[in-house]
Structure 1
């Protein structure tokens, strides 16, 4: 389970529990070094490049990457006299990012008056993941948000019978599926396309991005939007499910050895953080 989930003491948020005699604080935040080189690209230029990036973990949110100001091209930042209040780090100043004729409003921020116990954040700068052209760890692009070092993905071959149906119609049936185990989600079964009735799948325009699985293409089935999805070119840790199709057991009948699945944790994961919540005009 990724660290951000463990920073929330609410018992219904996760399956485990803290073995402590006293109640935990209502809110916990945690910082740690990323220990990887991370770069930011905008308008065809690298505007930040650092091996000293700091990850900020806050409750049930994706981690956010902060760059030392000394590793950022500060001349591309333009302050717009807009500030907000962060619940842990206090007053936050927002900047437009400009390179040449291209400008993106509200695309970077800095905590200008953090509390004493987090004073280091006054010298750190973060960027909106959606506003930038791309983030790279060395030469590999990271999509969606900063990767959580506590998040794990494992894929295993399985020979159990997996059957998918909707309104009595068998959409897929296989004994050569691959089950993907992911830290904050229930096991998800991926079936080879040769075992899927693709006439039942209607491709949608929806795409989602994940640093651990890549870009997902979604399909409607039997009038159910987002009932299935597939990753065409996932990163190495999820490469075994490339081209395979997964099905939402809360929208379709998905059975493993005759037992119907129903997910209670869902596929929502952590909530959007500042680096993904960019809104033009901030």
Structure 2
């Protein structure tokens, strides 16, 4: 989630509210210095290298990094006549990005008529994440989207009883599940495979990617499509859920200490595809 994505405090679906005497605007944008060196690679060439990055948090979007023009290879940006209008930040000029024998259209943009309150973004360029080959902080590749300093994950062991059923069939029963709390999402309950009837789990093709947990595999259960998932090679930071299985509460029936689990509106995770040129081994090593 983070500051402005999913149900964060600056998102349009925030689960909390600011305690202020006057209502806040429906849309609040937040800009801050990233305070990290960022590099951008395109066609095997680093076309940008900056220690002066501004991160923009905009409702309903992942954070976006804006780099000063002077830290970008001038030959990499090809101006186009395409101009759009941002509802908060004004006219937006678009660029093709070029390096070597490759050019990608509408791969970068700049706000050219910023209101005074948004001067922090003046003279800065943003690159479309999936149009680039990779983004780096120092020498480490950043996966999925710009790193969000407000995203948090806590994982706790518990002795509560969790049972998962599909109709009258018990799929899993555990007296020691693990619960994962992730900013803005419903708690996710992970079950050791020893507590699952794995004959009911049918692997399906297609993985998604979480910048904080790694590659995710999915399972059908009977007619319930992608009703369970597992991070079979979870990142070290979340290794307590490594190879455990979690279940989608709106596709199968989960009971915690006998009480039915439900996912509230807006708390379902919106999954990522896998970044361009990213292979499984690189994710595992991250």
TM-score category (smaller protein): 0.7 to 0.9
Instruction: Give the SS at the match of 2:239.
Output: helix
Change in Cα spacing, 1:23 to 1:106, as seen in structure 2 (3 Å) is same
Which residue does 1:179 correspond to in 2? 179
Which residue does 2:42 correspond to in 1? 42
User: Whole-Å Cα distance in 1 between the matches of residues 243 and 72 of structure 2?
Assistant: 38
Instruction: Give the SS at the match of 2:75.
Output: helix
Question: Does structure 1 retain, via aligned residues, the 8 Å contact 2:89–2:113?
Answer: yes
Question: Does structure 2 retain, via aligned residues, the 8 Å contact 1:6–1:59?
Answer: no
- Is 1:7 matched with 2:7? no
- Is 1:227 matched with 2:227? yes
Consecutive unaligned residues of structure 1, counting only runs of 5 or more, are 272-282
Which residue does 1:266 correspond to in 2? 267
| Number of matched pairs | 268
Question: Does structure 2 retain, via aligned residues, the 8 Å contact 1:162–1:257?
Answer: yes
C-alpha offsets along residues 63-113 of structure 1, whole Å, 9 cap, x if unaligned?
Answer: 111112222223112223211111121111112222222222221111122
Q: Which moved more, 1:225-234 or 1:81-90?
A: 225-234
Instruction: Give the SS at the match of 1:3.
Output: coil
Normalising by structure 2, report the TM-score.
Answer: 0.85
Output aligned runs, 1:89-100, within 5 Å.
Answer: 89-100=89-100
Which residue does 2:25 correspond to in 1? 25
Which residue does 2:64 correspond to in 1? 64
Question: Does structure 1 retain, via aligned residues, the 8 Å contact 2:208–2:271?
Answer: no
Which residue does 2:119 correspond to in 1? 119
Which residue does 1:214 correspond to in 2? 214
Consecutive unaligned residues of structure 2, counting only runs of 5 or more, are 273-286
Question: Does structure 2 retain, via aligned residues, the 8 Å contact 1:155–1:238?
Answer: yes
User: Whole-Å Cα distance in 2 between the matches of residues 202 and 47 of structure 1?
Assistant: 44
Which residue does 2:189 correspond to in 1? 189
Name the Cα RMSD after superposition: 2.2
Change in Cα spacing, 1:108 to 1:152, as seen in structure 2 (3 Å) is same
Which residue does 1:199 correspond to in 2? 199
User: Whole-Å Cα distance in 1 between the matches of residues 51 and 194 of structure 2?
Assistant: 44
Question: How far is the alpha carbon of 1:49 from its aligned partner?
Answer: 2.2
Question: How far is the alpha carbon of 1:45 from its aligned partner?
Answer: 2.1
- Is 1:150 matched with 2:150? yes
Question: How far is the alpha carbon of 1:269 from its aligned partner?
Answer: 5.8
Which residue does 1:276 correspond to in 2? none
Question: How far is the alpha carbon of 1:227 from its aligned partner?
Answer: 1.1
Question: How far is the alpha carbon of 1:23 from its aligned partner?
Answer: 1.4
Question: How far is the alpha carbon of 1:251 from its aligned partner?
Answer: 0.8
| Structure ranking higher on relative contact order (CA contacts 8 Å, 6+ apart) | 1
Normalising by structure 1, report the TM-score.
Answer: 0.86
Question: Does structure 2 retain, via aligned residues, the 8 Å contact 1:218–1:227?
Answer: yes
Instruction: Give the SS at the match of 1:6.
Output: coil
Instruction: Give the SS at the match of 2:263.
Output: coil
Question: How far is the alpha carbon of 1:270 from its aligned partner?
Answer: 11
